[in-house]
Amino acid sequence: MPVTFTFGEMLSARSVIGTTLAELGEDYDNLWVLTPDIGATLVEFRDKYPERFVDVGLAEQACVGVAAGLAYDGNIPVVSGMLPFLSMRALEQVRSDVCYPNLPVKIIGTHGGLVGNGGSTHYAVEDLALMCALTNMTVTSIGDPLMVGEVIRQSMTMQGPIYIRLAVGKKDKVLYEPGEHEIRIGKGIIARQGTDATIFTHGTVVAQALDAAAELAKDGHSVRVVDMFTLKPIDEELIAQCAAETGGRFVIVEDHLAYGGLASRVADVVADRGIHLTAFERLGIPQVYAGFGEDEELRDKHGYGLAATIAATQRVIAAA
């Protein structure tokens, strides 16, 4: 069934995963879906292609290893689960079984960031740092629920592995009008134009960055928002372009450790290419185990919520 939606509406990214995989199962008879006991939304695929659906139970390491075995034999396995466990408990399988032989295993999951109120065992906050470190791995983090479908679709023809990070995926804001932006893995999206500063962001906090830019516009500030949904390979050209076009004033906001994620990726490009910046601020999770609370409360508490984003952007705009 095609997904229907309205711009600005809430949509479940998980349902997009389910629908997209069920669709793709028809085009790709070598597409397998695997899960370690997660995935009510995979039911559609499971019912349509039971012979290509594998649930190994609570066994993330085996799940990723089995996926690699399938991929060695010419299949396209998609592993779907909760990212804190896929990115950490199965990290060595991801690295040595999938990335080392560069197999086309797609890892897609939820609970990237301080989301879902599960406490620190259930927040993937180091995952992007870990995944970006792996040779051959492509790393993405998606906010717009409809983009999830497009990224999964594009990943089907990729040779190597990809990591696709979502937040909770139960209720996500549709950010972009269909066809409004070209969505291409490896290319950032200018989600909002602006000339005074650029906010680079990804995943669930793209919506927050857009709200911050809208607030700042009321005071006459023109703030660009870049949805850098691909962290690796990073869109270096866009970073250089934004430095040139927004006065070298950067804010990075992400639902991930402030060090090791997108801010670090951007800083690497800035340093490596000798890009001159006027101001650079990074907002993200500090070195704490964050505790319980609703997503927004946790972002506020740990200094990367809406108010903090607005304040940081004002500071970089004011910087001499």
| Span of 68-76, 159-167, 208-216, 254-262 interacting with another protein by CB under 8 A | 68-76
Q: How far apart are CA 46 and CA 176, in angstroms?
A: 30
Shorter beta-carbon distance to another protein: residue 65 or 261: 65
Among 37, 47, 72, 288, binds another protein (CB under 8 A): 72
Beta-carbon neighbour count of residue 173 at 10 Å? 18
Shortest Å, Cβ 34 to another protein: 9
Query: How many residues sit close enough to another protein to count as binding (CB under 8 A)?
Result: 29
Q: Which residues pair with 10 in a beta bridge?
A: 173
Pick from 290, 318, 320: which is nearest to 304 by CA? 290
Shortest Å, Cβ 78 to another protein: 13
Which two structure tokens, joined as six digits, stand for 235? 């869109």
Among 9, 26, 100, 244, binds another protein (CB under 8 A): 100
Alpha helix (H) ranges present in the chain? Answer: 13-27, 43-48, 60-72, 83-84, 91-92, 127-132, 145-155, 206-218, 236-245, 262-273, 295-301, 306-318
Among 96, 117, 241, 278, binds another protein (CB under 8 A): 96
Q: How far apart are CA 148 and CA 140, in angstroms?
A: 10
Binding mask 18-57 for another protein (x = CB under 8 A): --------------x------------------xx-x-xx
Is residue 110 a contact point for another protein (CB under 8 A)?
Answer: no
Q: How far apart are CA 92 and CA 242, in angstroms?
A: 36
Footprint on this chain of another protein (rule: CB under 8 A): 32, 51-52, 54, 56-57, 59, 61-62, 64-75, 77, 92-93, 96-97, 100-102
